[in-house]
Amino acid sequence: MPLYAFSLFLPSIISQLGFTTTKAQLLTVPPYAAAAILTITIGYIADRTRQRGLCNIFTSFLGIAGFAMLLGSQRAGVKYAGTFLGACGIYPCIANTISWTSNNIEGVYKRGVVLGFVIGWGNLTGIISSNIYRNPPKYTVGHATVMAFMIVFLLGGSIVLHLLLRKENAARLSGKRDAWIEGLSRKEIEALGDRRPDFIYTL
């Protein structure tokens, strides 16, 4: 939802800076460029550390800070700086969340269905963003709603999922889930996918 919202208010901030036509178009590029660089960086770190949840948590703070700036100030320069943090808090989390989901689902069909739900739900929330950005240039309702989504779902959801996966990994490593495969053949165990006791979740 924050992703779809981002493109709705950026042009109005640039117009507040006093730029129009070509210069205004060029000024929309830097926030996206910064977000692209951070997306690659976060992807590299998450791949190496297998700590996708912590990467989401860290980047969500950038996004929350950015939208707090957009919500709390009416100075065009502050708001434009806020768009950099907002973009850096949104874009890396999208790629990282999809990868995190994919890492923790085993089985072609199951992974396809789960990713369909994740991406489909994300696209559906674009309906919300298209209806909350009214009353320019403050956009109080829009920025507050996006910030709430980032606090509750992105930050809060990443923290909860990280802790639950860590707890489940500890249970599997200690042998508490070994009973799930008692009496099963090797083929039946493999068919369990991520329900296998030796499958360790990416945190």
pLDDT average, residue stretch 119-131: 87
Q: Is 95 inside any structural domain? A: yes
What are the two backbone dihedrals, phi and then psi, of residue 103, each rounded to the nearest 5 degrees? -60, -30
pLDDT of residue 103 exceeding 90: yes
pLDDT of residue 43 exceeding 90: yes
Range of the domain at 77: 2-166
Q: Is 184 inside any structural domain? A: no
Q: Is 31 inside any structural domain? A: yes
Please name the residue that has the structure tokens 């117009």. Answer: 15
- The total of structural domains in the chain comes to 1
What are the two backbone dihedrals, phi and then psi, of residue 110, each rounded to the nearest 5 degrees? -65, -45
Q: Is 15 inside any structural domain? A: yes
Q: Is 119 inside any structural domain? A: yes
Structure tokens at 150: 């980032």
Please name the residue that has the structure tokens 């950026």. Answer: 10
Q: List the CATH number of the domain containing 59.
A: 1.20.1250.20
Q: Is 48 inside any structural domain? A: yes
pLDDT in tens, 48-98: 999 999 999 999 999 999 999 999 988 989 999 999 999 999 999 999 999
Q: Is 185 inside any structural domain? A: no
Q: Tell me what the pLDDT averaged over the chain comes to.
A: 91
Q: Is 144 inside any structural domain? A: yes
Please answer whether residues 24 and 129 qualify as being in contact, where contact means their C-beta atoms are separated by less than 8 angstroms: no
pLDDT at 129: 85
